[in-house]
C-alpha cells in the first residue's frame, strides 16, 4: 500500500516540481505587491468609514443645503468610474498645483470614493432604526447628538455589517486598479512576472492571494456579526 | 400651582384635526385616566405634553413653567429648546411599545440617562437603578437584554427607566395595550404602587378596571375633544353624555 502510494506521489511531485520552484522564485515580489495592496486597503477602510458616517449624518441633517451638497458629492463619486477618479487625482490635480506621488493619490481617490458608498449604507442603516428609539431617548432628556451617538449609531453597526463586508471585499479587488498609475501592488507584480517569463501560473497564484484575503475578511466580519448579535 | 396645565390645545396632522381645544389641569399627586375610542386623540394629547408633538394653538404649562404659550397676537410660541428640555425633565413617559434600547442590558437601559443627561456618578446611578429594579421585581434580570424579557417585564423595565430620572409626573401611553392579557397584571400592579406613593400620573388606557379602581379622575375623550370628566363612579355609573355611555357599553 505504502509502496503504491509512493509510486503515484513521487512521479507526480517530479512533474510539478519545476512549477513549485518557479513559484518560490516569484513569491517574494508578489508578497511585496500584496503589502502595497493591504496598505491601500487599510488606509481606505480606516478613513472612509468615519468620513462615511459624517456624510451619512449630513445627508439626513435638517439643513437642506447640507443634504443637497452631500447628495451631489455622492452622485458624483458613485456616478463616475473609480479609475477615472484615480486618474484625476494623479494626473489632473497637478494642473491645479497639487502634485502627489502615486500612492497618496490612490489613497485619496479611494477614500473619497468609498466614503460615498459607505455614506449611503450608513444612511440606510440609521433610517432603519425604529422611530420609537428617538422618542424613548428624547423623553429621557437626550439631545439629538447624544441620541445619535449613544442610541442610534451603536444599533446601526449591527445592521450595516453585511453591506459593509460586501464593500470591503470589493475594495480588496478594486485595489488592483492602481496598477494603472504604476503602483507596485499585487496585480502589477503578477503581470511583471507573466510578461518576463512568458508563463501564466502567476495569475493563479495572484488569484489564490486575493481569495485568501477575502476569506480572512469574510471570517472577520462573521465574528463581528456574531459579537453584535448577542442582544437580538 | 398645577403640575400640568394645558389650555385650549389644538393639533392637526395635515388636514386631520386630532385635538380640538383641549384643556386639562392635573394636581400634585393626582392620578388621571384618559379613556376613549381609538383615534380620539388621547395619545396625541399625552405626546403634546412631553413635546413629542408640537401643538398648533394653545398653551402648556408644567409646574408653573410655560413650555408653549400664546403671545399677544394669540400665536402659540414655544420657549427655547434648552428650556423645553429642562421642563420636560420633570416628566417621565412610558410607551405602548416600551422603546427600550435593545443594545443595552436592563441595568444599562436604566443608568444611561441619569449618567449622560443628569451627570449622576455611575456608582450612584447603579444604586438607584438596582433599587428601582427591586421595586419592580426584576433585579435578577439586570444583566439581561430586552430581547430576553417578556412584554410585561419589558414594560416594568421601561417604568423603572423613566423613574430613574426622578420625574415629578409620569405619563403612560397605553402601557398594557401591547401585552398578552395574562401579563397586564404585573404592569398594572407597579402602576398601582406608584399611585399609592402619590406620584402624579396621567394614564391613557383601555383598562377600565384599572381606571376605575386607581384613578382619582377620569377623562373621556372622543373626536379630539374632552366630552366628559369626573370621578370614576360618576363616569362609570352615571355618565352624562350619550357618547360616554355608548363607549362604556362597548368596552365593559
Convert the pLDDT of each residue in A28-59 to its tens digit. Answer: 888 999 999 999 999 999 999 999 999 999 99
Residues in Cβ contact with B62 at an 8 Å cutoff, skipping those fewer than 6 apart:
B3, B4, B5, B49, B87, B88, B90, B91, B169
| Cβ neighbour number for residue B181 with a 10 Å cutoff | 7
* Shortest CA gap B6–chain A (Å): 18
Q: Is the pLDDT of residue B130 over 80?
A: yes
Q: Which residues of B touch A155 (CB under 8 A)?
A: 101-103
pLDDT digits (tens, 9 = 90+) for B31-74: 999 999 998 999 999 999 999 999 999 999 999 999 999 998 88
Cβ–Cβ pairs < 8 A, chains A and B = 60
Closest chain B residue to A131, measured at CA: B99
- Which residues in B lie closer than 8 A to residue A138 (C-beta atoms)? 51-52
Q: What SS3 state is found at A182? A: coil
pLDDT tens digit sequence for B133-173: 999 999 999 999 999 999 999 999 999 999 999 999 999 99
- Report the pLDDT value the prediction gives residue A2, as an integer from 0 to 100: 75
Of A107-116, A193-202, B33-42, least confident by mean pLDDT is A193-202
Q: How many other β-carbons are positioned within 10 Å of the β-carbon of residue A160?
A: 22
- With beta carbons less than 8 A apart as the criterion, state whether B210 and B33 touch: yes
The answer to whether A133 contacts B50, with C-beta atoms less than 8 Å apart, is no
**B97: closest CA among B174, B24, B5?**
B174
How far is the alpha carbon of B85 from chain A, nearest alpha carbon, in Å? 6
Residues of chain A neighbouring B80 (CB-CB closer than 8 A): none
pLDDT at residue B123 is higher than 80: yes
Q: What is the pLDDT of residues B166-208, one digit of tens each?
A: 999 999 999 999 999 889 999 999 999 999 999 999 999 999 9
C-alpha cell at B39: 383615534
Asked whether the beta carbons of residue B118 and residue A232 sit closer than 8 angstroms, the reply is no
Model pLDDT, residue B162: 97
Whether residues B145 and A231 touch (CB distance < 8 A) is answered with: yes
SS (H, E, C) chain B: CCCEEEEEEEEEECCEEEEEEEEEEECCCCEEEEECCCCCCHHHHHHHHCCCCCCCEEEEEECCEEEEEECCCCCEEECCHHHHHHHHCCEEEECCCCCCCCCCCHHHHHHHHHHHCCCCCHHHHHHHHHHHHHHCCCHHHCCCCHHHCCHHHHHHHHHHHHHCCCCCEEEEECCCCCCCHHHHHHHHHHHHHHHHCCCEEEEECCCHHHHHHHCCEEEEEECCEEEEEECHHHHHHCCCCHHHHHHHHHHC
ipTM entry: 0.93
**pLDDT band at B106, cuts 50/70/90?**
very high
Cβ contact, residue pair B88, A139, below 8 Å: yes
Please tell me the distance in Å from A41's CA to the nearest CA on chain B: 30
Q: SS3 for A55? A: helix
Amino acid at each position: 500500500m505504502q509502496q503504491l502510494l509512493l509510486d503515484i506521489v513521487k512521479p507526480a511531485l517530479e512533474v510539478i516540481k519545476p512549477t513549485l520552484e518557479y513559484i518560490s522564485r516569484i513569491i517574494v515580489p508578489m508578497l511585496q505587491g500584496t503589502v502595497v495592496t493591504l496598505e491601500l486597503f487599510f488606509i481606505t477602510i480606516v478613513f472612509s468609514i468615519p468620513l462615511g458616517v459624517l456624510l451619512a449624518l449630513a445627508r439626513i441633517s435638517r439643513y437642506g443645503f447640507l443634504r443637497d451638497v452631500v447628495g451631489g458629492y455622492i452622485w458624483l463619486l458613485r456616478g463616475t468610474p473609480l479609475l477615472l477618479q484615480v486618474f484625476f487625482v494623479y494626473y489632473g490635480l497637478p494642473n491645479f498645483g497639487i502634485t502627489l506621488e502615486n500612492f497618496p493619490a490612490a489613497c485619496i481617490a479611494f477614500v473619497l470614493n468609498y466614503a460615498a458608498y459607505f455614506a449611503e449604507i450608513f444612511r440606510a442603516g440609521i433610517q432603519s432604526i425604529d422611530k420609537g428609539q428617538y422618542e424613548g431617548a428624547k423623553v429621557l432628556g437626550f439631545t439629538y447628538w447624544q441620541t445619535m451617538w449613544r442610541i442610534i449609531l451603536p444599533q446601526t453597526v449591527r445592521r450595516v455589517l453585511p453591506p459593509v463586508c460586501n464593500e470591503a471585499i470589493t475594495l480588496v479587488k478594486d485595489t488592483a486598479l492602481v496598477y494603472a498609475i504604476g503602483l507596485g501592488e499585487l496585480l502589477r507584480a503578477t503581470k511583471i512576472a507573466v510578461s518576463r517569463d512568458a508563463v501564466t501560473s502567476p495569475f493563479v497564484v495572484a488569484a489564490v492571494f486575493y481569495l485568501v484575503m477575502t476569506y480572512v475578511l469574510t471570517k472577520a466580519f462573521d465574528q463581528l456579526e456574531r459579537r453584535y448579535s448577542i442582544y437580538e | 400651582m398645577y403640575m400640568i396645565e394645558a389650555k385650549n390645545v389644538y393639533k392637526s396632522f395635515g388636514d386631520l384635526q386630532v385635538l380640538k381645544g383641549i384643556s386639562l389641569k392635573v394636581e400634585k399627586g393626582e392620578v388621571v385616566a384618559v379613556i376613549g375610542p381609538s383615534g380620539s386623540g388621547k395619545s396625541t394629547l399625552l405626546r403634546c405634553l412631553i413635546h413629542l408633538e408640537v401643538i398648533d394653538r394653545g398653551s402648556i404649562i408644567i409646574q408653573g413653567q410655560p413650555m408653549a404659550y400664546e403671545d399677544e397676537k394669540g400665536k402659540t410660541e414655544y420657549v427655547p429648546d434648552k428650556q423645553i428640555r429642562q421642563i420636560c425633565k420633570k416628566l417621565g413617559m412610558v410607551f405602548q411599545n416600551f422603546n427600550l434600547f435593545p443594545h443595552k442590558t436592563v441595568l444599562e437601559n436604566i443608568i444611561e440617562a441619569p449618567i449622560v443627561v443628569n451627570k449622576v456618578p455611575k456608582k450612584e446611578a447603579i444604586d438607584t437603578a438596582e433599587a428601582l429594579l427591586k421595586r419592580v421585581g426584576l433585579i435578577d434580570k439586570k444583566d439581561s437584554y430586552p430581547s430576553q424579557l417578556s412584554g410585561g417585564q419589558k414594560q416594568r423595565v421601561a417604568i423603572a427607566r423613566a423613574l430613574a430620572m426622578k420625574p415629578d409626573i409620569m405619563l403612560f401611553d397605553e402601557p398594557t395595550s401591547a401585552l398578552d392579557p395574562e401579563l397586564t397584571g404585573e404592569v398594572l400592579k407597579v402602576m398601582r404602587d406608584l399611585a399609592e406613593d402619590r406620584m402624579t400620573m396621567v394614564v391613557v388606557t383601555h383598562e377600565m378596571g384599572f381606571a376605575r379602581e386607581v384613578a382619582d379622575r377620569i377623562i373621556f375623550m372622543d373626536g379630539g375633544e374632552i366630552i366628559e370628566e369626573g370621578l370614576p363612579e360618576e363616569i362609570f355609573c352615571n355618565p352624562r353624555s350619550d357618547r360616554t355611555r355608548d363607549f362604556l357599553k362597548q368596552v365593559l
